[in-house]
Structure 1
């Protein structure tokens, strides 16, 4: 007989900001683009490795066609949810996916539903 450990209430509470962040289709799309940044963003214009440092917010803004302030707010939401990490390089902020955190969240989600 196999027993399944159900996630704690605290673990489930971690999912709420994730669901809120992913409820916006643009934020969900950006997270998908960041999965393969070389395919979706102009690598030749990058000042850092898109996998190590992430993608510059200006490139994300250009691809979405949204105002810089909107993109910054969207990325802050994804960061608060633990889906991306930011790195400052000079005056620019770069974002990359937090694959470890995403894997843990997927595990919690899989055990809770």
Structure 2
């Protein structure tokens, strides 16, 4: 999943979400660290359509690397640090 050309984009998303304040514009209505960022913000950063960004985000949510939070009509995405650490440990053990 992360070794495909699309996987590079997913790795970029995970990297940007480590420090969302540095990588995404102020969303005004939500704290990017506590609440996450919207799919629109991710799409803009990737230079992709909203639908393409949502596909990448959904995959990362489905495997547990991102968490979602609905604020009004928008879904916000942030890293699940515990799950990311768990996956990293699996790779370190030779999985």
| 1:8-23 map, 5 Å | 20=1, 22-23=2-3
Point out the structure with max Rg over C-alpha. 1
Matched, 1:25 2:11: no
Q: 1: distance between equivalents of 2:71 and 2:64?
A: 20
CA-based RMSD of the aligned residues comes to: 1.2
**For residue 92 of structure 1, what is the aligned residue in structure 2?**
74
Partner of 2:33: 51
Structure 1's unaligned 5+ residue stretches are 1-19
1:70 aligns to what? Answer: 52
TM-score norm. by structure 1 comes to: 0.76
CA distance in 2, matches of 1:46, 1:74: 24
Segments of 5+ residues of structure 2 without an aligned counterpart are none
Greater relative contact order structure (CA < 8 Å, 6+ sep): 1
Give the whole-Å Cα distance in 2 for the aligned partners of 1:47 and 1:65. 23
Rounded to whole Å, the distance in 2 between the matches of 1:98 and 1:26 is 18
Count of equivalent residues = 92
